[in-house]
Amino acid sequence: MQTTLAPVAPKRRSLLARALGALFLGAAAATPLSAQAHKELGRMWTFEAAPLGWFQQAYDWQPTQEWLDHARMSSLRLGRKDEARPDGYAWFCSASFVTPHGLIMTNHHCSRDFLVAVQGENDWLKDGYYAGAYEKEIKIPGGVVSQLVSQRDVTKDVAEHGSPAVLAEAKKQQPDLLHQVIALYQGGNYQLYSFKVYSDLRLVCAPHGQSAHFGGDPDNFCFPRWGLDFTFLRAYENDQPADTSKHCFAWKTEGAKEGDLVFVTGNPGRTGRLQTYAQCEYLRDYFYPGQLKAIHQMLDKMNVDAKESPAKEKELRARILQIENQRKAMQGYYDGLQNPRILAIKQKAESELRAAVAKNDELQQKYGDAWDKIAELQKAKIEATGNRSKLMELQKEEGEQQKRIGEACFAVYGTSIPPDATMSLRISDGVVKGYAMNGTLAPYFTSLYGLFARHHEFGGVHPFDLPQAWLDAEKKLDLKTPFNFVATCDIIGGNSGSPMIDKDQNVVGLIFDGNIEMLGNNYVFDDEVSRTVSVHPAIIVEALRKIYGAGKLADELERKGGKK
């Protein structure tokens, strides 16, 4: 499926639209070739421009429109109410409906603040929680999920009237929905996304914090891995579990095998794949070193404060984990930009785009100097270091030039390439696959055998310590149970909590991380060794039944015994 721009009157037709209509609309139709030729731009496809030709060429299979609609409506964006934000919400993770009764699957690390908000004198962040019945499911203040119910191309409307007018009209027409104008391709294309918001979320089940975060900071962004990073919430409407029978994913406890085609449907937060080579050099040499220094200082202080008392440690625990995650992610982005392979791919892609622009006089006249202007702005930013007012000014000008590059990219390639991440819903294709690492091979999955081995090999010392409940249950667990696994799908921060599904729309995994090599994909996508890391559905069911006494919940997931 491809997006077609709305007709524009000849006298008002923009240069961009003329270029698209006259020269490059064919690029979108040639998705299979373009997707291969521009792999560096990744596979974070929008649902309105899903690359059916690419799916057919790569996997000898393509989804129907019904398949795409069901996947879109079963996928969710997780957030909380925040009146300081333009739309009234802060969005930070992904999620999905996984049963007909409003059950929502997401990550434990996406739900830490929710747990802290409702645990009171308990320590559910540490000890976990299971409701066991609807009446014990605890309402989460401010927690929300959004479900994308429709999309519409509003590029022409935004150009003529501006985003606020488009949003105002949408709200007038459909006041019961949340509307957002999403800028894709850095402003080369605009979509109006309309969402149903579920604002009554309740806590159903969360594992021990140490089970979810086993291995702690050392294992974060690594594989092999043993993180039980799940939480189940439930959406309610009119004080009853929401009826989500029309749009929810099925559950496949046995998961996927190596080589299987899989998809991630989630909300990647931000990528910089259309950023220029000069911008990447600035980030590598100036921005990230300074940011990392500040984060290390912040963490050092928080860790000292946490040692004051158990109460202080409990207060700061979730925040420390969050900052540790940010530190390691930022280190990965920095390391990626120091990788000559990454920068060589970036430079080649930029040269190809500039060459394509130069071949057309109209595009060259309008966009040809944007890359040089951005390079000049990087030098000006270095000179303005410490002058904040001169920097919020240079960044504004830089944003204008980035928009020109996005428009140029869209004019040349159309929807045959995916746009950068915008915390909006995407579908990413890939296969389950191990990879080469440290001079050997990483298998595509880990198992319970490895979890207990890691605990014992480190002497049960934190962060490789298992909660006592796991040690007590070791003999009754099936140690062959798969735990975490990897695939080649394209993800970034914001994808946490995304479902991984197969082509039959069964849940075969829960995204919670990527390996360290994946972080370099922030600026250039390369799946040679970068991998997503998911929780396997088999370990979720095994843990629910044998550790947490949550057989009813496991039955609901596996569709056993009818309605809960």
Residue 206 and residue 79 share a domain: yes
Q: Is residue 396 part of a domain?
A: yes
Token pair in block for residue 384: 């303005």
Residue 244 and residue 119 share a domain: yes
Token pair in block for residue 397: 């000008």
First to last CA, the chain: 39
Q: Cα-atom radius of gyration of the chain, to the nearest Å? A: 24
Token pair in block for residue 178: 């949340």
Would you say 182 and 115 are in contact if contact means Cβ atoms under 8 Å apart?
Answer: no
Q: Which of 388, 416, 444 is the last residue of a domain?
A: 416
Residue 424 and residue 410 share a domain: no
Q: Is residue 153 part of a domain?
A: no
Residue type, 494: G
**Cα-flanking dihedrals φ and ψ of residue 86, to 5°?**
-55, -40
Measuring CA to CA, which residue among 250, 254, 255, 208 is closest to residue 229?
Answer: 208
Q: Is residue 184 part of a domain?
A: no
387-425 per-position pLDDT tens digit? 888 887 999 999 999 999 999 999 999 999 999 999 999
pLDDT of residue 523: 92
Residue 470 and residue 369 share a domain: no
Residue 21 has pLDDT above 60, yes or no: no
Tell me how long the chain is: 564
d(C-alpha 230, C-alpha 232), whole Å: 7
The secondary structure of residue 45, as a DSSP letter, is B
Residue type, 317: R
Residue 248 and residue 122 share a domain: yes
Would you say 394 and 373 are in contact if contact means Cβ atoms under 8 Å apart?
Answer: no
Would you say 550 and 208 are in contact if contact means Cβ atoms under 8 Å apart?
Answer: no
Half-sphere exposure for 125 (CA within 13 Å, toward CB): 21
d(C-alpha 287, C-alpha 146), whole Å: 33
Token pair in block for residue 456: 């014992």
- The alpha carbon of residue 323 and the mean position of all alpha carbons in its chain are separated, in whole angstroms, by 18
d(C-alpha 173, C-alpha 191), whole Å: 16
d(C-alpha 402, C-alpha 412), whole Å: 15
Residue 23 has pLDDT above 50, yes or no: no
List 513's β-bridge partners, or say none: 533
Cis-peptide into 100, omega within 30 deg: no
Q: Is residue 112 part of a domain?
A: yes
Half-sphere exposure for 243 (CA within 13 Å, toward CB): 2
Cβ partners under 8 Å of residue 175, min gap 6: none
Reduce the DSSP state of residue 102 to 3 states and report it.
coil
Residue keyed to tokens 């043993």: 226
471-515 per-position pLDDT tens digit? 999 999 999 999 999 999 999 999 999 999 999 999 999 999 999
Q: Is residue 388 part of a domain?
A: yes
Angle at which helix 388-413 crosses helix 370-383, to 10 degrees, equals: 160
d(C-alpha 294, C-alpha 536), whole Å: 36
Mean pLDDT within 269-277: 94
d(C-alpha 341, C-alpha 444), whole Å: 24
Measuring CA to CA, which residue among 372, 443, 476, 475 is closest to residue 223?
Answer: 443
Residue type, 319: R
Q: Is residue 498 part of a domain?
A: yes
**Least confidently predicted of 59-73, 77-91, 320-334, 503-517:** 320-334
pLDDT of residue 12: 33
d(C-alpha 485, C-alpha 350), whole Å: 34
Cβ partners under 8 Å of residue 444, min gap 6: 258, 432, 433, 434, 485, 486, 487
Residue 462 and residue 374 share a domain: no
- Cβ neighbours of 331 (radius 10 Å): 18
Q: Are strands 143-153 and 240-241 parallel, antiparallel or unpaired?
A: unpaired
Residue 364 and residue 309 share a domain: yes
The secondary structure of residue 464, as a DSSP letter, is S
pLDDT of residue 24: 33
- The range of the structural domain enclosing residue 225 comes to 38-142+199-272+420-564
d(C-alpha 182, C-alpha 71), whole Å: 20
**Least confidently predicted of 256-265, 318-327, 362-371, 493-502:** 318-327
Mean pLDDT within 87-102: 98
Would you say 515 and 533 are in contact if contact means Cβ atoms under 8 Å apart?
Answer: yes
Would you say 437 and 42 are in contact if contact means Cβ atoms under 8 Å apart?
Answer: no
- The CATH number linked to 485 is 2.40.10.120
Q: What is the percent of the chain where pLDDT is above 90?
A: 86
Predicted confidence band at 36 (pLDDT cuts at 50, 70, 90)? low
d(C-alpha 96, C-alpha 94), whole Å: 7
Residue 532 and residue 499 share a domain: yes
Token pair in block for residue 90: 């802060």
- Cβ neighbours of 385 (radius 10 Å): 11
Residue 289 and residue 266 share a domain: no
- C-alpha dihedral sign at 271, 273, 277, 278: negative
How many domains is the chain partitioned into structurally? 2
pLDDT of residue 32: 42
Q: Which of 416, 443, 478 is the last residue of a domain?
A: 416
Token pair in block for residue 255: 């998961």
pLDDT of residue 318: 85
Q: Is residue 168 part of a domain?
A: no
The secondary structure of residue 89, as a DSSP letter, is E
pLDDT of residue 37: 67
Residue 548 and residue 444 share a domain: yes
Predicted confidence band at 525 (pLDDT cuts at 50, 70, 90)? very high
Residue 321 and residue 396 share a domain: yes
Q: Which of 399, 416, 433 is the last residue of a domain?
A: 416
Cis-peptide into 207, omega within 30 deg: no
Question: pTM to 2 decimals?
Answer: 0.90
359-390 per-position pLDDT tens digit? 999 999 999 999 999 999 999 999 988 888 88
Residue 15 has pLDDT above 50, yes or no: no
Mean pLDDT within 69-77: 98
The region that residue 363 occupies, defined by phi over 0 for left and psi between -120 and 50 for alpha, beta otherwise, is alpha
Residue 189 has pLDDT above 50, yes or no: yes
- Cβ neighbours of 525 (radius 10 Å): 24
- C-alpha dihedral sign at 198, 201, 205, 209: positive
Residue 56 and residue 84 share a domain: yes
Q: What one-character-per-residue DSSP string does 490-510 give?
A: ---TT-TT-EEE-TT-EEEEE
